Structure formats: C-alpha cells, structure tokens
Amino acid sequence: MDAGTTLGNLVSAIGIRQEEADLITQLKAGSEEAFAWLVATYHKPIYSLIARMLPAQADAADITQEVFVKVYRGISSFHGDASLRTWIYRIALHEASNQRRWWSRHCRQEVTIETETGESGEGQALCIRDTLVDEHESPFEMAAQSELRAHVEAELRQVPDPFRTIVILRDIEGLAYEEIAEILGINMGTVKSRLMRGRANLKARLASFVEAAQKRPTRAIHPFHPAQEAR
C-alpha cells in the first residue's frame, strides 16, 4: 500500500468519525431529524439480525422497536467508547437474548397446532392444525428458491447460539471481523474460530436437505406464474 492510499484512508476515517460525532451531538440534543435518520439507516439490518436470533420471527418487529427505544433513552449516556453502530448492535443482541430466555421459560405454556379442539362429524379428533390447512399451492411449492431460503433460516436458528450469532453478523449482516470482536467483546481468533464452527454446523444441518433437493425432479413453472411476470 503506497503512502497516498494510506493517507487517503486516514483522512476518510477521520471524516467518518467526525460525522458520527456530529450525529451523536444532535441525538443527545434531542434532534428528531437525527433520530429519524438513525432509525432509517439501522432499522433494516437490526430487524434482520433480531429475526434470525429469535425462535419466533413474528416477535422481531416488537423487539426491534424496543431496541430503538433503548437507543433513544440511552444516547445521553453513550460516551463513544465504541462506534455508534457497535453500541446499537450490542443493544440488539442483548434484547434478542432476553427474548430468547423469555421464550424458553414460557414456550411450554403455548398452545400448539396439535392441540385437540373437538371432534369431527365422524367422531375423529380435530386439531387446530386441521383448521389451518390451505388446499392451494404454497409459495414455497411454487418457488424452489423461497423453499431453500426458508429451510436455511429454520436451520440457522438451530445452530448453537455463540456460533449462530457470528454467522449472522459476518455472513448475513456483512460486518468486519474487527467490528464483530468489538461488539461481542472477544478477540479476533475467537471470532474466526466460532465462525468456522458455525458454518460447519449449518452445512451439516443442511446436508440432507440439499441432497434431497438435488434428487428432486425439476418442475416446469406455468407460463403465467406470478414469479415470471414479476421479472
């Protein structure tokens, strides 16, 4: 790397830090415009992170909102020991962890779709599941890519937590190793080790599905399928 490139990177980094310092000053002053910008910038990646961390994706919107409430209330005590993004991600991971613990304590009290609700006219037991049957072809049946994505998301939730978190932060959110280490308070070697183990765990979980998908015959899509019209 030549001296010109090094100097350019340094100037750029200084500029970014100054912009963040100005933003933090505005946030601490109660600027609605600054907070709106913050939410618009970070809402999508934070929601994406939380949705993949929780057992029930439906809770992600509420937890994401809670994260930004915590950011708004806590910005006055933010002293810049880490970058603003690192601080927000730490809050998000903490809230997702709290929600997972709540889920593990209360999920046994939830009513499942296997719960019997009565009997049919033929005297057979009826479950909640029976009322949810959709006779139409589902989007996953019509689009193999969507099916694969859903399966990957489901299996990712089964990867042990320390490894899953780093797979999400690195492979999905695209954070740098250094930033992940700062967010989680661990060293670079641990980040890389956990990432390797997380990827291996996910790959093993997907192996049978991938093998079955490769053996599955390719279905032709109807010429008037919405997926084609959307292209």
Higher-confidence residue of 135 and 56: namely: 56
User: How high is the pLDDT of residue 192?
Assistant: 93
- Tell me, what amino acid is at 16? I
Lowest mean pLDDT among 9-18, 74-83, 177-186: 9-18
Helices then strands (H, E): number in the chain?
11, 2
- Name the residue ranges covered by the structural domains of the chain: 3-108, 138-215
Q: Centre a 10 Å sphere on the Cβ of residue 108 and count the other Cβ atoms it contains.
A: 6
- Tell me, what amino acid is at 158? Q
Three-class SS state of 42: helix
**Residues 159-187: tens digit of each pLDDT:** 998 899 999 999 888 899 999 999 999 99
- CATH hierarchy code of domain 3-108: 1.10.1740.10
116-119 and 125-127 as β-strands: parallel, antiparallel, unpaired?
antiparallel
- For 138-215, give the CATH class: mainly alpha
